[in-house]
Structures are given as structure tokens and as C-alpha cells.
Amino acid sequence: MAYKSIDPKSLKTPELHGLLLGSIAPRPIAFASTIDKEGNVNLSPYSFFNVFGSNPPTLIFSPARRGRDNTVKHSYENVKEVAEVVINIANYPMVEQMSLSSTEYAKGVNEFVKAGFTEAKSEKVKPPRVAEAPVAFECIVKEVVETGQEGGAGNLVICEVVHLHVNEAILDEAGKIDPFKLDPIGRLGGNWYTRSKQALFEVEKPLAKLGIGVDALPDTIKNSDVLTGNDLGKLGNVEAIPEVDNSILENDENFRSTMKPEKLKGLSLSALHSYAHELLEENRVAQAWQVLLRAN
């Protein structure tokens, strides 16, 4: 593979900005409502944002300095005057209005009004929350860390959540947030966004067991020209290499309808690996192992 080797100091800020935002993606969006000392409300989205702890609950977003003229955002000015913010979570039904609110209106213009959102009174902080947001975090600002004074420098607004609002419509039967109902969005480079609801998939966390790891897989599997890195990761997330167990395949209705057990004996190594890959794509790990064991 050919890679470009780049010293960030050799690039102009807009070029580096594009590489960073184009590759570190998708990013969650902090739809931040703030207020200045005169009581003027501001609402603006920031994709330099994430959660950094739950005890205390800590969120950080960064209204960075503008690269073109080194000016600062109204949100940054506001939290320096009134150290409170509501971080609203924006979802797909709000994305166009949210984008409109990022217009650089003059200071004192209320983006709630411009973008057509509803102000809802907060419980513990002065800035209002967005009534249409599926989740809103009322926060106090603990600290603002400036990473530099030049255009493009970040201003890390470190927030502690003091109150939450969660729309019950996005909860599942167990009271947990359902990602399909939440319908979250993420920010990429340029004008691009992603809608998580359209591309959700699960990856089993290796917390409840000690996986054997890719290094412990048989060489014929580990060095396969067919199996992908994702395939090997799934296969390595077992506590021990399984034993041959005909019942796993015989009791699998999908297997019986697409492949007779006796046909496995006549398949080449590459064909067996291809079939195992298909099973792994469907997260049928136990069945994939049984196919692969017949190749060894």
C-alpha cells in the first residue's frame, strides 16, 4: 500500500482541517444553547464533541477559532460570561433546521427563532433547551481550555451534566435508549453527514470472556486469503477452539436449506473459507467454526 507521509506543520490550516474532519468521522454533534450576561440566547451545533466520563458526567465540546479570520464563536463568548450550557442531541428529523442554525448571524440574533425551534425552560441552568431534541443535558461549565490563539485553535468547554431530559418516545421496553428510535446523526467532512439508523450493526464486546485472540487461530485460518480481518476478530473472540460438533450444523435450518453436511467434504479449502466468511457476515460464528474445523 502507498501512503502519503505528511508533517502537519507543512500544511495550511484549511488543508489540515479538511484531512482531520474528513478522516475523524463520523462525529457526534453538540447542539449547544448558551446565554450571554445580557440574556441573549444563542444556539449552534459543534461536532468537536463527545462524552468523557460518567462520574461525574462530563461532556466536552469545542467552539474552535475560525480559521479564516481567527474570530471566536458566540457560544464561546457566552460560556465565558455565563458558565452554563445545554447540550441538546440533534437527530435526523432536526438536521436541516440544525444546519440552518449554524448560519453566522449577528450577535444577539436568536437561532431558536431563525431555525424554528422551541425554547423550553431548563430546570437548573439559565440557557433554554431545545424542546424538539430527543435528549438534552443541562450543564455547568467547569473549565475552558484554550489550545492556542491562532485561527483553527480549539477551545475545550468542559461541562458537568447537572440535569437530563430524555424523550420517552426514544426508549425501549427496558427503559434504555433505542438507537433506531433516537435516529442519531453524525458529522463528516465538507457537507457530509451520516444517519446512524441506516447503518447500525452490533459488535460483541469482549468483556464477559477472554478470547483466544487471532494469534491462537490455526495457521490455515490465520493466513487465509479469503477470511477478512473482521472474520478473524470474530473467530478469535472465543474462549477455546471448539470441537467438531455435527449437531450445530445439523440443527441449523438455514444450513440445511443451503448446504447439505455431506457436501462440505467435497469443498476445497478456499470454498470452505468462502462459506465460513458468509456465515461470519451473518454473525453465525459457531456454524462458521464448524465449517472451518472440517478444513483442518
The closest of 271, 274, 276, 269 to 296, measured between CA atoms, is 269
The pLDDT value given to residue 296:
62
Q: pLDDT tens digits, residue range 232-241?
A: 999 999 899 9
Give mean pLDDT, residues 6-21: 91
The pLDDT of residue 209 is above 80 = no
CATH of 8-199, one of 3.20.20.140, 3.30.390.10, 3.40.350.10, 2.30.110.10: 2.30.110.10
The residue ranges of every structural domain in the chain are 8-199, 214-293
Pairing state between β 41-46 and 30-35: antiparallel
Q: pLDDT tens digits, residue range 32-57?
A: 999 999 999 999 999 999 999 999 99
The pLDDT value given to residue 256:
66
pLDDT confidence band for 200 (50 / 70 / 90)? confident
The mean predicted confidence, pLDDT, of the chain is 91
Query: CA-to-CA distance for 125 and 79, rounded, in angstroms?
Result: 12
For the ranges 177-191, 197-211, 239-253, the maximum mean pLDDT occurs at: 177-191
pLDDT confidence band for 204 (50 / 70 / 90)? confident
The pLDDT value given to residue 207:
67
The closest of 258, 212, 207, 255 to 234, measured between CA atoms, is 212
The pLDDT of residue 264 is above 80 = no
Task: Name the least confident of 100-109, 122-131, 143-152, 249-258.
Answer: 249-258
Element (H, E) at 144: strand 135-146
Helix (H, G, I), strand (E, B) or coil at 22: helix
The pLDDT value given to residue 1:
79
CA atoms within 13 A on the CB side of 100: 12
Query: CA-to-CA distance for 276 and 280, rounded, in angstroms?
Result: 6
- Say whether pTM exceeds 0.95: no
Query: CA-to-CA distance for 68 and 106, rounded, in angstroms?
Result: 17
Give mean pLDDT, residues 151-173: 96
